[in-house]
Amino acid sequence: MVGSTEANRRLYSNGSIQNYNGLEEKLDELRSLLGKVDGDPLRIVGVGAGAWGSVFAALLQDTYGQFREKVQIRIWRRAGRAVDRATAEHLFEVINSREDVLRRLIRRCAYLKYVEARLGDRTLYADEILKDGFCLNMIETPLCPLKVVTNLQEAVWDADIVVNGVPSTDTREVFEEISHYWKERITVPIIISLAKGIEAALEPVPHIITPTQMINRATGLPIENILYLGGPNIASEIYNKEYANARICGAEKWRKPIAKFLRQPHLIVWDNSDLVTHEVMGGLKNVYAIGAGMVAALTNESATSKSVYFAHCTSEMIFITHLLAEEPEKLAGPLLADTYVTLLKGRNAWYGQMLAKGEISRDMGDSISGKGMIQGVSAVRAFYELLSHSSLNVFHPEGNKPVAPVELCPILKTLYKILITREHSSQAILQALRDENLNDPRERIEIAQSHTFYRPSLLGQPQ
């Protein structure tokens, strides 16, 4: 039939063209696996509207939103967060620089409120602008309009798939509340967690608690229904169709069909069975990204200084993976790739830069207006507390004695003293790099590779 190929191709709000039939087939396949029948839409809910959470929901809306009878996509965020005057002015500039966005707002009769906010005659709210496609933590990247719900019970009570987009520091609290709304459920939902961060627990033995574990304990959902999705990627670049990778980790029952459902021409989604270790690595790279930002700012973006830092921080990360994983070499590619992109362009690196430049202070905390939660700060505390525990002692070949693992991680120690105890200024990160007693990164890697450091108890597994 003439024109049938073009008729089956759709232009999406972010400029992509995708095959209509192929998308519907993927949606039907996932619906079938979840036991959905005609007239009963697949309900996908994003919980939390930070940059990654908002982009994830917008990608799904852009891709599958036209199949309204088969899928419903919505996002929850807390109500009441006001947009300050400076952000409103910047948002107005972004709107007027994009003809497609400007026309969309005019068609929706929504442009006038942004004019009024620019003039200071009206207060905008984060949930209000999200409905128009603007994430407060990512103003520069307009998204498609989203269905926004501010009542958590309304958002999740009948959800088939819940995407956890809240920070790890809020995950337990939010899902404990959600569990109250699921007491009468017959079907078991699927959770896809985007959170990157960990908590440290020191009793009965030092171990890591990840967001998926928090969700499991808060809700009682079987762990096979809880998945983790990680990088390497940057949220705004994914939405703007930059080529990117992601990795979904968890039980085979769900990770493979969901990987297929999420995969797009510009976003390759791989799958992996090692849920917890990949999740922990997602939190670890944020630790070292903060230091990378400090080094960049303090050395005027010196390529040499940044490369020296990269060598040392990656050697520490490789050492830590030997504590966490029985086969750490399997993590090398994903870990280094995710670290590299986060050091290049991520909110944790930005935070380190701003601290070093004096444009923000540690007294402002780790939730920064326009950026959201800086997960690396809590991760610095958690990893330091875990790796300084004497029960995890490892043999230091140079000192010929057992030491806490943190003693082989001078950058982590320095970041802890800068960010947590505040004994040092940001300049201390350069002093650590320039210490003539600092081991060659090669030596730290050799120590890790030549000794049996694996501590399964760190991930809550038996010795």
Catalytic residues: 285
Sign of the four-CA dihedral 288, 293, 299, 304: positive
Rounded Cα distance, 310 and 322, in Å: 18
Residue 270, φ and ψ in degrees, nearest 5: -90, 170
* Beta strands per DSSP E along 77-197: 148-149, 161-164, 190-193
The DSSP string of 9-55 is EEE-TTS-EEEHHHHHHHHHHHHHHTT--TT--EEEEEE--SHHHHH
Contact 36, 160 (CB under 8 A): yes
Rounded Cα distance, 272 and 256, in Å: 9
Burial class (CB in 10 A: 0-12, 13-18, 19+), 183: exposed
The position carrying tokens 């005027």 is 300
Rounded Cα distance, 362 and 25, in Å: 50
Q: How far is CA 276 from the centre of its chain?
A: 15
Residue 201, φ and ψ in degrees, nearest 5: -120, 130
Rounded Cα distance, 32 and 52, in Å: 27
State whether residue 397 is helix, strand or coil: coil
Q: Which two tokens stand for residue 40?
A: 């009963």
The position carrying tokens 């790739």 is 337
State whether residue 405 is helix, strand or coil: helix
Q: Which two tokens stand for residue 211?
A: 């967001």
Q: How far is CA 450 from the centre of its chain?
A: 33
Contact 169, 200 (CB under 8 A): no
Q: Which two tokens stand for residue 196?
A: 């990157």
